[in-house]
Amino acid sequence: MINGQKKKSDVSGMEFFLVWFFICLPKDILDPILASPIFLGIGLVLNRVTDVVVMMILGLWALLRLKEFPTGSFFSAFTFEMVPILGAILPSWSGWILYVYIKQKIGEREMKVIKK
């Protein structure tokens, strides 16, 4: 809070797109590939390692750039990624970015309505 007002997020739609395109989308594409029988058991280990790396990158980005850290949705997406078959099928990181983007845009509209 700054002077009794909520901190305004400086995250643009383009930044959300870049985070999605370069971090979330490749990870969500990689998930079913690593879950395929070609990788046998090593795919599960690689999947977990990449999930933790993506979680740390997105967590740091959210902590530094968003007006408030979306704890519940962030850890829900991470939990879905950790479930073996569900994590390979659902694009939970992409869904999380979309959720945060929509939530931010709705919040900005509400602030504009309040100001009028």
Let me know if residue 3 belongs to a domain.
no
pLDDT digits (tens, 9 = 90+) for 78-106: 999 999 888 888 999 999 999 999 988 88
Let me know if residue 111 belongs to a domain.
yes
Let me know if residue 73 belongs to a domain.
yes
**What pLDDT was estimated at residue 1?**
46
Predicted TM-score (pTM) of the model is 0.81
Mean pLDDT of 34-40: 83
Domain count, the chain: 1
Question: What's the one-letter identity of residue 18?
Answer: L
**Cα–Cα distance for residue pair 97/73, rounded to 1 Å:** 10
Q: Per-residue confidence at 77, pLDDT binned at 50, 70, 90?
A: very high
Which tokens sit at 68? 């408030």
Q: Is residue 2 predicted with pLDDT exceeding 60?
A: no
Whole domain around residue 29: which residue ranges? Answer: 13-115
Let me know if residue 84 belongs to a domain.
yes
One DSSP character per residue, 22-75 reads: IIIHHHHHHHHHHHSGGGTTHHHHHHHHHHHHHHHHHHHHHHHHSSS--HHHHH
Q: What is the DSSP letter of 6?
A: P
**Cα–Cα distance for residue pair 102/36, rounded to 1 Å:** 32
Let me know if residue 77 belongs to a domain.
yes
Q: Per-residue confidence at 48, pLDDT binned at 50, 70, 90?
A: very high
Percent of the chain beyond pLDDT 90?
56
